[in-house]
Amino acid sequence: MAQRFRARRGTPQDSTEKSDEPGAARLRVVDMDTYPDWEAIYRDNVDRVYRLMYTKVGNRPDAEDLTTEVFVSALKPLRASATVGEVRAYLLATARTVLATYWRRTLGREITTLDEERDAALLADDDPSGPQAVNQVEAILAELSDRHRRVLQLRFLEGCSIKEAAVELGVTVSNAKVLQHRALRQATAVAERMRT
């Protein structure tokens, strides 16, 4: 399919083929602000959606899964004849919905903020590496069971993948996922209790 697309559009097989200037790559131009087909919609937007998901969830496997879910969800209702702006707006709205579902499943509550300015303001107001944040994290972890505390430390403080955490804990990957889910729910409840 990709070869037929390239042949129809007259683009080279290798999109990084050199142009007249050394080191310059060829760019694909979208005619009349619309995409020619679904493949073009995907190619033009997949990196953007993935980067957004990665910044929100912080790990590659979940970001990849959520990116796939965004495109699968958008496939049926989105018109291929929509303008580039409409497609990007629809994908952003779909990403917001997919992310809200993910957070509801993971944390037991809905978080739908995708506004980068607001996220930056929150980070500026609340230094996540400051002593107050460190004390809060330590207090939350202290109230968790040993297994819940350990899975959260491995996943979020030490940056282990779910497979690495499972090996460290001596459990299956599925069991590690369940432990992480329960630990996040318990940590959320502890944090809410501390705020009140």
Q: Which residues contact 131 (CB under 8 A, 6 or more apart)?
A: none
Give me the domains of the chain, ranges plus CATH numbers: 26-117 (1.10.1740), 127-195 (1.10.10.10)
The per-residue pLDDT for range 103-117, each reduced to its tens digit, is: 888 776 555 555 544
The per-residue pLDDT for range 75-87, each reduced to its tens digit, is: 888 887 888 888 8
Residue 23, sorted as left (phi over 0), alpha (psi -120 to 50) or beta, turns out to be left
Q: Which residue has the higher pLDDT, 68 or 81?
A: 68
Confidence (pTM): 0.43
Count Cβ atoms below 10 Å from residue 104 Cβ, excluding itself. 13
The per-residue pLDDT for range 127-170, each reduced to its tens digit, is: 455 567 778 888 888 999 999 999 988 888 888 888 989 999 99
Residue 115 is predicted with a pLDDT of 53
Percentage of the chain exceeding pLDDT 90: 16
